[in-house]
Structure 1
C-alpha cells in the first residue's frame, strides 16, 4: 500500500503549528563555563537554569533543536516509570521505590508551575489520564494501585469499573480501568519552541546542525570537538537520549534507541469525538506494548502511538499496525483517513529509570524511557544545579550509578525486533486469557 493511502504526510502533526527550524549560525565561544550536548527538553532546561545563575552556556544539537523526540512525542505529562513498585523494590529496596513514586508527583507539579510561571504557550490542559485494563484480573490489580496512590501520595486516582467505562472512552475493548487526575496533555513542539525562546532570552547560545564529535579532558578543562570547530569548557553536560551517537560511547552502550510511531486522524465530527473521547483525557493501556492515544489539543482528531520494531527506512507495516490498533479500539473509524504518520526515537536502559550520573568528570542527564515531557525538564534542571554545587536544588532520587551496559551492544539494536515480538506474544496471551 502506498504512503498516500495510509497517511497524507510523513512529518509530525505537531509541526503544522510549530515547525522545527534551524537557528541563525553563531560564532563558537573560545571558553565556556558549560557545554551541553543536546538541545531538547533536558538540554534547554539545564541551560536555562545555568544561564540564569550567570554561567556562560552553549548547547550543541546535531539536528535542528527539538527535531528529535521533543517535537515528536505524544505530549502526555505522565512521568510514567515502566517498572512497577514491586520491581523497583526488588532491585533497589522499598525506600527507593517510594522515592521514585513521590518524585514523579513533585516533577509533574514542577512542570505545571514552570509552564505557568514562564507563561509557556503550549496548549497545556490538566485533563487526567485513563488506563485501560486487559482483563478483570488486571483491573483488580490496577484498582488496588490507584487506591494506594491516593492514600500514600494524595493523588486523585480511582478505579473505573467496566460498566462505567464508556463515560471515559468510547470502546468496549477494556475491562475497566483507572484514572489519575494529576496527568494532562500539551503540544510538545510548542512546548519545546517556548522552552527554546526563554532559554535564548536568558543567554543560552544554541548551535543547531552542529554535531559533537568528541569530548576530551585537557587538564582542568574539556576540549569539545564539534563539526563547527573546537571549544573549551570547564564543565560538560550530556543530555542526549534516543539520539545518542558515537561522541559519547560510554552512554551509547547503555541506551537503546527504540522507535515510537504515531498516527493522526483527519478531523472528526464533533459528535463522534464526544462519543469516543468524552472527557478529552490522555489514554494508555495495561499491555506490555500498549497503545497510547489522546485527542489533539483542539479536540478535533485522535492521535495514537505505539512502539515500532522496524530499524531502517520508513516501512508500511508499522503504520498499518497502528491503524489496525486504532480500529480495534474504535471500529467506527475503519474508513477514516490518516492525516499524518511519523516516528522518533525514545531511549530505554536496563533499569528503565531516568538517570543523572557522572563519569570521568562529565555529567549525564538521560534515560527518560518514553516519558521525557516530565522527566526531561526535571532531570535537566537537577543536573544543572549539580554542576553548580547547589546540593539542595540538585537533590533527586535518580542521581545514582549509571545503568549497566548492554552486553555485545555498540549502538546497533539488532535484538529489538525479537524483543518487541516477544512482548506482543505476551500481550496476545494476556488478551486471550481476558
Structure 2
C-alpha cells in the first residue's frame, strides 16, 4: 500500500450535538465541511478509517473533464445544447479544482502537462478522432491527433491517439491531506476511526447519528461516503455500486527508460471502458500504472502480478522491473452513470462519481453544502432529489468481474501490423 500523507485525527471524545454531521472524510466530505464551517456552522466529519484514506487518496491522480459518457454520446442522446451545457459544467468543475490548488497554495505536486489517450484498435482510433473533433468544434477544447503515438508514448500497443493539451496531474494523497487541513483550518472537526453505524431522523427534524463511540445529534446531515457506502446507510447503499480500481508502482526506473517511454511526462490511458492508465510519479522515478478495474476485491499478489503482466505487454522493457507498491481505491457508480448531489428524506448527499471524483468530489461536496445553506448557485445537471435505485445484480460485488470481463472482451485490442 502507498504511504499516505493523510493524518489520523482520532480524538476520543464526541460532542453531544453539532449543526452538521458529515459522514465521510474524503474529498467530498472535507470540501462540504469547509464550506459549512466558513458559513459559521459547527461541523463534525466522521470517518470509519483515516480521513482521506479511501479513493480520495488512492486514485490515478489524473485531473480532467471526463464522464462515463462521451460528448458525442450525450449529443446523440440529449441534443447538442444539453451536451454543451453538461460539458460546460465539467469545464467549471475542472477550473475550480485547479484554481483551488493554485490560489490556496496546496502542496500536492500539481502538473499541467496534458494527457495522451491511445486507441487499441483502428475502430477505437476512428471513434476517438470523431469524439475529439466534436469536442474541438463545439467546446473549443485544444488537442492534436497522434497518428504515430510512439512520439508520445514508447509502446507499439496503440493504433493512434490524441494529445489533450489542458489536463493536469497531482499526488492524490497530498491533495486529500491538504483538503483535510483546509477544512480544519476553517473550524471543522474531523474524527477518524469513528464509523457511523446508522442514523434516524427524529420528529423535530434533527438527526440522531449513531457511531461506534457514541451518538451525536445534528440539525443536518451530509452523506459523502461514495464507494464505501454500505448497509449502515441503507437509504443510500442500494443507490450505488462499489468498484475497486487496482494500481501498482514500479521500483525506481533508469532515467533513459523514462525518457524513451514517456518523454513528456503526461498522463496516459486508452479509450476502452476497462482501460489501462498511467503516469510517471511526481518525483520522475517510477511508473504508476492502473487497470483491471472491478476484477479484484483486494490487492493480492495474484492481482498485482496480473496487472504487472498487462504493464509488461505495453512496455516489454519493464519485464525485469519489480513493484514497490500495490493498492486499490474503492470507487462507485450510480445507476445512470452520472455523479449526483441533492437531498433525500432530509439527508443531503454527494455520491456516485463514476471515476471522475478527483475534480468532481470537492465540487459536489461544496454544492451539497451550499444546498444545505440555501445558497446553491443556480442550476446544475448533477443536482437530483434522490438517486435512482441500482439494480440488484449491479450491486453484487461478486458479479462485477463478470461484467468487467465482458467489457474487456468487447474492447479487446487489435494486434498492430509487424
| TM-score normalised according to structure 1 size | 0.91
The aligned residue for residue 100 of structure 2 is 114
Match of 1:213, SS? strand
Of 121, 126, 138, which residue of structure 2 is paired with 1:135? 121
Q: Does 1:239 align with 2:224?
A: yes
The aligned residue for residue 431 of structure 1 is 414
The 3 A distance-change label for structure 1 pair 353 and 338 is: same
Between the aligned partners of 1:338 and 1:185, the Cα distance in structure 2 is 21
The aligned residue for residue 379 of structure 1 is 364
> Is the Cα contact below 8 Å between 1:60 and 1:212 reproduced in 2?
yes
Deviation at 1:292, TM superposition (A): 0.7
The aligned residue for residue 56 of structure 1 is 42
Q: Does 1:285 align with 2:270?
A: yes
Deviation at 1:378, TM superposition (A): 0.8
Q: Does 1:195 align with 2:145?
A: no
Between the aligned partners of 1:181 and 1:72, the Cα distance in structure 2 is 25
Deviation at 1:213, TM superposition (A): 1.2
The 3 A distance-change label for structure 1 pair 357 and 87 is: farther
Greater Cα offset, 85-94 or 173-182: 85-94
Deviation at 1:342, TM superposition (A): 1.3
Structure 1 gaps, min length 5:
1-10
Deviations 1:238-284 (CA, angstroms, capped at 9, x unpaired): 11111111222121112111111101111111111011111100001
The aligned residue for residue 8 of structure 1 is none
Between the aligned partners of 1:146 and 1:409, the Cα distance in structure 2 is 34
Of 211, 225, 228, which residue of structure 1 is paired with 2:210? 225
The aligned residue for residue 297 of structure 1 is 282
The aligned residue for residue 6 of structure 1 is none
Between the aligned partners of 2:246 and 2:298, the Cα distance in structure 1 is 13
Greater Cα offset, 372-381 or 311-320: 311-320
> Is the Cα contact below 8 Å between 1:258 and 1:307 reproduced in 2?
no
Between the aligned partners of 1:317 and 1:349, the Cα distance in structure 2 is 29
The 3 A distance-change label for structure 1 pair 24 and 209 is: closer
Deviation at 1:151, TM superposition (A): 2.8
- Correspondence list, 1:12-91, <5 A: 12=2, 15=3, 18-25=4-11, 27-89=13-75
Between the aligned partners of 1:290 and 1:412, the Cα distance in structure 2 is 22
Between the aligned partners of 2:356 and 2:116, the Cα distance in structure 1 is 16
Between the aligned partners of 1:90 and 1:41, the Cα distance in structure 2 is 32
Greater Cα offset, 301-310 or 29-38: 301-310
Greater Cα offset, 198-207 or 397-406: 397-406
Greater Cα offset, 220-229 or 47-56: 220-229
Q: Does 1:267 align with 2:235?
A: no
Deviation at 1:91, TM superposition (A): 5.5
The aligned residue for residue 416 of structure 1 is 400
Q: Does 1:322 align with 2:307?
A: yes
Deviation at 1:160, TM superposition (A): 1.3
Between the aligned partners of 1:78 and 1:106, the Cα distance in structure 2 is 11
> Is the Cα contact below 8 Å between 1:76 and 1:184 reproduced in 2?
yes
Q: Does 1:354 align with 2:339?
A: yes
Aligned residues: 416
Match of 2:35, SS? helix
Match of 1:325, SS? helix
Greater Cα offset, 24-33 or 205-214: 24-33
Structure 2 gaps, min length 5:
none
Between the aligned partners of 2:244 and 2:301, the Cα distance in structure 1 is 14
The aligned residue for residue 254 of structure 1 is 239
Between the aligned partners of 1:271 and 1:88, the Cα distance in structure 2 is 42
Between the aligned partners of 2:394 and 2:403, the Cα distance in structure 1 is 17
Q: Does 1:213 align with 2:197?
A: yes
Deviation at 1:20, TM superposition (A): 3.5
